[in-house]
Amino acid sequence: MSLSRNDDETIRKRSGWLIPLGVFAVTFLLSAMFLLLYLAPSAPSLFEEQLAPTSRGDIIRVSVHGRRFNIPAKYMEYASTRQGGERREVALFALVPEMTGWSNWDADTFAGNSPDSPVIYLLLRNDTVGLNETERLKRVYLDYAADERGAPGQFGLTQYAFRPDSGYENQDLFVSQTDSGPVVLLCERLGGNVTSPNCRRDMLVASGVSLTYRFKRSHLYQWRDIAAGVDRLMASFRSAPPKAAPAAAQRLP
């Protein structure tokens, strides 16, 4: 059976708009897939570990770059860290200036982020660069300072301003020379998107291991107590955990 002239013309007309429609549909599907895979926000809970503090005081033995630390569980932010063993980094927190760990009583304080929050965050990490504070001051910060001589600042600190083209223009540098070496603090300025500014210090604690700690700038006046408290805390983490008493000594008379 042969097709009529009208049928043939109808087929040609339909095929003329079917091809562009198919191209449009394929393009639309590919664009939708691109948006879904690359532009849609991902759920952080699927890829990032959530904070899981505890009030437990048992000692967790961890190592960073082969250096051993004995840290009470209540200082550790994440449950995975409390499994112990070798770690690239160990995230910790405490309250200044006493350097007490997390507790149920202080749960709301640890959860806050107000400008006067007393929480200090510490990060022990594997550090292959290994700059001490003297080297960091000379090789990193002072190269971007507006005046390498600095100026007298508050709380017995020398203050440095950074050049506008430095990348640090919204921060201030505070330095103090102590008997054990310099204390170098990089502090955010209040303003813009920074409503709760922090101060940060980076220091070496062992070969291949560095410690970064940060606290609210409103506590800068306590920098000496904070530095001393961090030193005491790290010394306690490096000390050997207490041994359990022999069974005979545990018997009641």
Both tokens assigned to 102: 């997390």
Report d(CA 6, CA 87) in Å as an integer: 78
pTM summary value: 0.77
Is the pLDDT at 23 greater than 90? The verdict is no
Report d(CA 73, CA 55) in Å as an integer: 7
Q: Note the pLDDT tens digit of each residue in 156-166.
A: 999 999 999 99
Average predicted confidence (pLDDT) for the chain: 84
Both tokens assigned to 244: 């359990």
Asked if 107 and 119 count as a contact pair (C-beta separation under 8 A), the reply is no
Q: Note the pLDDT tens digit of each residue in 149-198.
A: 999 999 999 999 999 999 998 999 999 998 888 999 999 999 888 999 99
Question: Omega before 97 cis (within 30°)?
Answer: yes
Report d(CA 197, CA 217) in Å as an integer: 6
The strand pair at 158-161 and 171-178 is best described as antiparallel
Q: How many C-beta atoms surround the C-beta of residue 144 within 10 A?
A: 17
- Measured in whole angstroms, the distance separating CA 114 from the mean position of its chain's CA atoms is 17
Per-residue confidence (pLDDT) for residue 229, from 0 to 100: 96
Report d(CA 90, CA 125) in Å as an integer: 6
Amino acid code (one letter) for 40: A
In which band, very low, low, confident or very high, does the pLDDT at 239 lie, cut at 50, 70 and 90?
confident
Q: Note the pLDDT tens digit of each residue in 25-65.
A: 655 565 545 434 334 433 444 347 899 999 999 999 999 99
Residue 2 backbone dihedrals phi, psi, to 5 degrees: -95, 150
Residue 201 backbone dihedrals phi, psi, to 5 degrees: -130, 135
Report d(CA 26, CA 31) in Å as an integer: 9
Report d(CA 72, CA 241) in Å as an integer: 10
